[in-house]
Amino acid sequence: MQRFAAIAMLACAAGCIGRGPQVVTPVRMDTAHVVTPPPTITVTRPVFTTNDDPFHRIDRLEWPGPNAYRTASGAPGPEYWQQRADYTITATLDTATKRIRGTVSIRYTNNSPDTLRFVWLQLDQNLYRNLSKGSAMFPADSRWGVRGFQGGYDITGLQVNGRGVVGKIDDTMMRIDLDAPLAPHGATLSIGMQYAFVVPEHGSDRMGRDSTLYEIAQWYPRMAVYDDVRGWNTDPYLGQGEFYLEYGDIDYSVTVPAGYVVAGSGVLQNRAEVLSPSQTERLDRAAHSSTVVQVITAAEASAAKRNAMPGTKTWRFRAEHVRDVAWAAAPDFRWDATSWDGVLTQALYQFPKAGRAWESAAEQTQWSIRTYSELWFHFPYPQATSVAGPVGGMEYPMFVMVHYGTTDPTSIFGTVDHEQGHEWFPMVVGSNERRYAWMDEGFNTYQNAFSNERRAPGTNAFPEYVANWRQSVEAGTQSPLMTPPDRIDPNGLGAIGYRKPGAVLLALRDNVIGRDAMDRAMREYAHRWAFKHPTPADFFRTVESVSGEDLSWFWNAFFYGTDVLDIAVDGVSMRLSPGQSVAEIHLRRVTHIPFPVTLRLKLNDQSTHDVRLPVEIWAHGDRYTASVPVSRPVVGVRLWPDPNVPDWNATNDIWGDAPPMDRQAVSTGGGVVPPIPPSPVKR
């Protein structure tokens, strides 16, 4: 496992108390630091000193199942089901009134074993209703809300199966009571309505406009998820938490002023009606090119900006196996495109507003799609688009919004890469973002470490992740990772939703179960739950099943609690044993959190060797003494010679003339570079 000599798990860990010292023998590992023979370590059992057991199992009380829907191994069960929602949407953008109006038709399939007598829809635009109309969260308090803006949906003509109905609107949710119950196991119903809303200015809550540029998301009423864990998921949209949506196929059309270009989720269906023959030819060429092709050139974009066209054009798209769609429109988009292994990767941006960095965005999009395909599974969609605009960064299937840049390509790479990484988590692996930010942002932050290290060899994301987490702890904005994002302090969302889970997952990989086991577990989880709805328990169980380890202590410590890791070296004493010297290393767990221990011992001849102790040493208390046979006296000790461990207090990690730690190594060393796994769906 990883960098240090692995030590076999304690024999009789649960049943040998009172039988005297237990002996564990380390496995020899060749390393420049190991210059003495690997010792046999005598474990002295500490006295149990606390009733607060960090090893207590959490699965029986905190995790749903196992049952026929979700198995004890973390995989979908033989009777797993989920609902389906297919949409047909027509919308018109009125740039004079800054208003979108449209119609939506939803075909909803009840695959559950339950009879449904009502359904719920999400009305995210109602975040902008003023308080007198019932909004639970005024926009000024939302994640990126525009102060003073009032909007929301105007809904008319609501029908179910062709009959008029009245929906009960509750903030950002709407319940529709059904005249006839919707039968289980495949019955369908149709819901239709007309709707309209005003687009907020600037980048506001994952959408907005900037002069002639429109970035449009959360732009049609969407079905809420009905699942086997909570039934109807009706958590209101308050701006900080994101989304949880059903999968299906979405056909949509957007009518815009004739000079506008539209980029969106899915595949453009009417290219000949909206693009010139030369632009269509370039787009075809880009679809088979590994270098960037200008589909709309700088000269064409500049001319379009100067010469407004009369009338309107309608752009038609189709997106299959998706949970949502979004789009953007402007009259002067430059459009660059390239491809990788059958996937068209594109960038649309206004120049010079977007910055010269955006001339590299199509290649950066290609890079990200290729990288995450190699890590988990082949990108399952036909295209991936990045658009420059006022929204700081937001993701939708096949379509992401990224902030403006500078002349430096690196000014946008991190965001392009992060947002495109979301295509795997949660666009395909469809977790509940409104409840568990770490299954969305945390997984993505974890995988971004791999991409960034590949892009800039030697890059180590781990210290930055831990530093941001530390800021949250010191500021008092930390909360457990299991906290729903709308209940996380907004000042702590970056740490708790993104960096802490990224850091602890890297620590799990490098220091607990090992790189091979973690990489296999992440891939297994991604494959099992592609286009499905995993819960935290499904992830936890998958990791435990693949690694063969009970990790209750890890989930307790880092996901359900807010304590921090702090283990100390209290001292070393030497004693003689027949034929050898023994160093007794006195360790103390300062906080609640246990962790496998790695030590580097320095002997009086300046030689060193490394020792690894399993997490079970902390099963009986917060103090532990390891008896290590050595050939010469120990003059110094260092905990965590590999610095990629989230120990909070470095001052108590050394004793005596401690050997130096390793140079800060990359946190993704030995990264996953296997043959590219197949897509979970046919492309």
For 242-248, what is the mean pLDDT? 96
Predicted confidence at residue 139, as pLDDT, reads 40
Q: What is the pLDDT of residue 439?
A: 97
Mean pLDDT, residues 327-337: 98
The CA distance from 161 to 440, in Å, is 35
**Closest to 370 in 3D by CA, of 408, 417, 419, 413:** 417
| Backbone phi, psi, residue 331, to 5° | -80, -15
| Among the listed residues 2, 683, 42, 82, the one whose alpha carbon sits nearest the alpha carbon of residue 369 | 683
Give per-residue pLDDT as tens, 18-65: 323 333 333 323 333 333 344 444 444 333 333 467 877 665 456 777
- Burial pattern 20-50, b for ≥16 Cβ within 10 A else e, equals eebebebeebeeebbeeebbebbbebbeeee
Q: What angle do CA 243, 248, 252 make, to 5 degrees?
A: 90
Q: Rounded mean pLDDT of 391-407?
A: 95
Are 322 and 248 spatial neighbours (Cβ–Cβ below 8 Å)?
Answer: yes
All residues at 6 or more sequence positions from 216 whose CB lies less than 8 Å from its CB, including other chains: 93, 100, 199, 207, 326, 327, 328, 329
Q: Residue 527: CB partners within 8 Å, gap ≥ 6?
A: 376, 377, 677, 680
The total number of residues written for the chain in this structure = 683
CA atoms within 13 A on the CB side of 287: 10
Structure-model confidence comparison of residues 668 and 225, the more confident one = 225
Segment of 6-10, 282-286, 301-305 carrying the highest mean pLDDT: 282-286
Helices 441-455/410-421 angle, 10° precision: 130
Give the Cβ contact number of residue 645 at 10 Å.
22
Confidence of residue 679 (pLDDT cuts 50, 70, 90): confident
d(CA 322, CA 334): 27
Q: What is the mean pLDDT of residues 437-442?
A: 97
Residue 145 confidence (pLDDT) = 54
Tell me the average pLDDT across 555-563: 95
* Higher per-residue pLDDT: 204 or 40: 204
The pTM of this model reads 0.90
pLDDT-based confidence at residue 670 (cuts at 50, 70, 90) = low
Lowest mean pLDDT among 55-69, 125-139, 171-185, 545-559: 125-139
The tokens of 463 are what?
Answer: 């210290």
Mean pLDDT of 444-468: 94
Instruction: Report the C-alpha gap between 52 and 178 in whole angstroms.
Output: 50
| Between residues 634 and 43, the one the model is more confident about | 634
In this structure, what token pair is assigned to residue 62?
């905190």
**Contact between residue 324 and residue 264 where contact means Cβ atoms under 8 Å apart:** no
- Measured at the CA of 590, the angle between CA 588 and CA 591, to 5 degrees, comes to 135
Q: How would you list the strands of the sheet with 399-402, edge to edge?
A: 293-296, 334-340, 343-349, 383-388, 399-402, 393-396
Q: Is the pLDDT reported for residue 259 higher than 60?
A: yes
Question: For residues 605 and 632, is the Cβ–Cβ distance under 8 A?
Answer: yes
Instruction: Please give the pLDDT value at position 680.
Output: 83
Dihedral sign, Cα of residue 537, residue 542, residue 543, residue 547:
positive
Q: Which residue has the tokens 């809550």?
A: 205
- What is residue 11's predicted lDDT score, i.e. its pLDDT? 30
d(CA 313, CA 275): 11
Q: Which run of H or of E encompasses 502?
A: helix 500-511
pLDDT at residue 203, as a whole number? 61
Evaluate whether 283 touches 275 at the Cβ level (below 8 Å): yes
Report d(CA 56, CA 82) in Å as an integer: 32
- 239-244 average pLDDT score: 89
d(CA 503, CA 484): 19
DSSP assignment string, 533-590 = ---HHHHHHHHHHHHT---HHHHHHHTS----B-EEEEEEEEEEETTEEEEEEEEEE-
Q: Look up residue 115 and give its two tokens.
A: 């009879």
SS3 state of residue 264:
strand
Among the residue ranges 202-211, 348-357, 600-609, the one predicted with the least confidence is: 202-211
Reported as a single tens digit per residue, the pLDDT across 471-504 is 999 999 999 999 999 899 989 999 999 999 999 9
For β-strands 248-257 and 84-94, DSSP reports them as parallel
Q: What is the mean pLDDT of residues 534-549?
A: 96
| pLDDT the model gives residue 147 | 56
| CB within 8 Å of 278: residues ≥ 6 apart | none
pLDDT bucket at 241, cuts 50 / 70 / 90: confident
Strand order in the sheet with 654-656: 608-613, 597-603, 634-639, 654-656
- Contact residues for 442 (Cβ-Cβ < 8 A; gap 6+): 481, 497, 498, 500, 501, 502, 505
Mean pLDDT for 308-327 is 96
Q: Kindly report the average pLDDT of the chain as a whole number.
A: 88
